[in-house]
Amino acid sequence: MGFRTDLPVRADATVIFLDTEVRDGIDQLTSRATAPEVAEAMIRETAWYDAQLERGRVDLDRSDPFRPQLTR
């Protein structure tokens, strides 16, 4: 996220993020949105995703085997 993805996107590339990258980097993503409506949609979708995780009682810290390594 950030500069490492800005360059390919400027060259018309498509960048795909993992769900945890989106949740953890929503501030960076929304600040780079092409329009306020895009940022609002991203926030809305992230809130929906978080609600689904809560509804299913999913703890991402415990369900993603790579997550503990990323937060060290």
How many separate domains does the chain show?
A: 1
What average pLDDT does this structure show over 25-41?
89
What range defines the domain where residue 56 resides? 3-70
Q: Is the pLDDT score of 45 beyond 60?
A: yes
Cα dihedral 64, 18, 51, 62, rounded to 10, equals: 10
Q: Which of 15, 35, 12 is nearest to 25 (CA)?
A: 15
Q: Which range in 11-20, 38-47, 48-57, 61-70 is most confidently predicted, on average pLDDT?
A: 38-47
pTM over 0.85: no
pLDDT-derived band of residue 72, with 50, 70 and 90 as boundaries?
very low
pLDDT reported for residue 66 = 62
Joined tokens for residue 49: 């995703």
Q: How far apart are CA 33 and CA 40, in angstroms?
A: 9
**What single string gives the DSSP state of each residue in 8-38?**
HHHTT------HHHHHHTHHHHHHT-SSHHH
Query: Exposure of 29 by Cβ count < 10 A (0-12 exposed, 13-18 middle, 19+ buried)?
Result: buried
